[in-house]
Structure 1
Amino acid sequence: MTPETLRHALIMLGAGIGIPLLAALNAQLGGRIGSPPAAAVVLFLVALATAFVVMLATGGPGPLGHVQAQPKRLLLAGVLVAFYVLSITWIAPRFGVGNAVFVVLLGQMLSAAVIDHFGLFGAIPRPVGAMRLGGIGLMAAGLLLILRS
């Protein structure tokens, strides 16, 4: 494993660790203020401020001018992140943070396998073989065991 691969893996491990924390914290905020959508708005305002600071620290807003020229379908990512945050904020206190995140993880694995297999959205094509299908199947089986307990 190269140092760059290790660095990338560690960054994504941190992002993965953050997802259940995000779910639990925002679900609690939604419960305390009595509105999961309002909690999502607060989360997005904090996220926007954080992204703005990182953008300024890493070279400024120069590329923002190019957004208008991009295909509008690429903006669907914003709708998808809003759907995730709204749904996890509302579902986690009712379904359990672990259950919600495990089901999200299975959805991520399925979607990622399709994106990789077909090289969608500019991804490097990586055909889905028996090993990957088996791994996703084991995750699905594990999810069923988790949900039954």
Structure 2
Amino acid sequence: MMYVLLGVLIGVLLPNQSAINNRLRASVSSPWVMSAISFLVGTSCLAVLTWTTVGTVTFDPRLFATEPVWLWSGGLLGVIGMTTTVVLLPIIGALYSTALNLTAQVVTTMIIDHFGFFGVDIYPANAWRLTGAIIVLAAALLAVRAGRPNPHLNQPTPSPIWYLVGLAVGVCFGLQVVINGQLTGVLGSAIHAALISFAVGLLVLVLLVAVTRSSLRIRVPAGERKNPWWMWIGGALGALYVAGVAFLAPLIGSALTVVVIQLGLLAGSMAVDHFGLLSAPKKSVRPLQVIGLIFMGVGVLVMNAPEILA
């Protein structure tokens, strides 16, 4: 249960990263520049932590020959998922994007855990895990739906292809969890694995900034007197998330890792909305959101019931 609580805590911090990055986005020219800055900060933090704990930020280059190519793709998958979400949100909306993302992540990681793909330890999709996962998904959709305004009925219906893209984003994030967990086993350090993932993502984002010729100028948004110092630390929270996931996935399974992170994420999102943290606009939490969050917790307990009852 200690690892489950750690996953929830990591998830609680994620909405703060979103609020921080949203403020940074207001001061730069494009989302790619914002993401590149965030990844640069995260990579720098992880480099210091890796040097402190491991004694080096490099690794044996012979691993490129002895380990599969996919082991190094976690950062690339993260960037693909993140950049695709930026495009997808205005088209299908946050509700459908969140629902498809979470569903695909849970299904993907449960399949991988059940069959032991990518060399992970096998966590069979037994009745407890399947029931718990269904409860979590239903409760999460209730909480997300309760917190969204009613959709505009005059908007055109998006092509079904975009909903498939939303599922693909969740698959990317689910694979990233699994791959970074396996990289942790190879390198012997979750922090070192997170550094490699961030470094790959940073390289991809720098190339995107170069290709799109995005301006690197930092400005103060209209109505603001200056840029707050905290708008630069989103990457540090992102680094904590990637390192935490890489640490937890080999210990409790990829599917349960995804679920507990999402439980914490929704709880943190409600706190950010309710209290207006980090300059986010205040939005009252609705009773159905709280009910959904409670049932997500029940679903996590059901998924983990064999270990709790043992």
Aligned to 1:128: 285
SS at match of 2:233: helix
Aligned to 2:186: 32
Q: Compute the displacement of 1:40 (Å).
A: 1.2
Moved more, 11-20 or 75-84: 11-20
Structure 1 residue ranges, 4+ long, deviating more than 4 angstroms after superposition: 7-12
Query: Of Structure 1 and Structure 2, which has the larger fraction of its residues in helix?
Result: 1
SS at match of 1:62: coil
Query: Alignment identity in percent?
Result: 28
- Residue 302 (structure 2) pairs with residue 148 (structure 1): no
Letter in 1 for 2:248: I
Q: Distance in 1 between matches of 2:188 and 2:269?
A: 34
Q: Compute the displacement of 1:130 (Å).
A: 0.8
- Residue 293 (structure 2) pairs with residue 115 (structure 1): no
Residue 7 to residue 127, structure 1, CA distance change in 2 (3 Å): closer
In the superposition, the TM-score normalised over structure 2's length comes to 0.42
Aligned to 2:199: 45
Q: Distance in 2 between matches of 1:106 and 1:129?
A: 17
Aligned to 1:6: 92
77, 83, 86: which one aligns with 2:240? 83
Q: Compute the displacement of 1:49 (Å).
A: 1.1
Q: Distance in 2 between matches of 1:34 and 1:57?
A: 35
200, 204, 214: which one aligns with 1:60? 214
Q: Distance in 2 between matches of 1:25 and 1:113?
A: 30
CA deviations over 1:26-48 (Å, ceiling 9, x no partner): 11112123332222111011110
Aligned to 2:173: 19
Q: Compute the displacement of 1:135 (Å).
A: 0.8
| Unaligned residue ranges in structure 1 (runs of 5+) | none
8 Å contact kept, 1:19–1:101: no
CA deviations over 1:63-109 (Å, ceiling 9, x no partner): 3x459x63222223111111111111112101111111111111101
Counting matched residue pairs gives 145
Q: Distance in 1 between matches of 2:207 and 2:97?
A: 19
Q: Compute the displacement of 1:16 (Å).
A: 4.2
Residue 144 to residue 43, structure 1, CA distance change in 2 (3 Å): same
Q: Distance in 2 between matches of 1:100 and 1:4?
A: 28
237, 247, 256: which one aligns with 1:99? 256
Query: Greater relative contact order: 1 or 2 (C-alpha under 8 angstroms, separation 6 or more)?
Result: 2
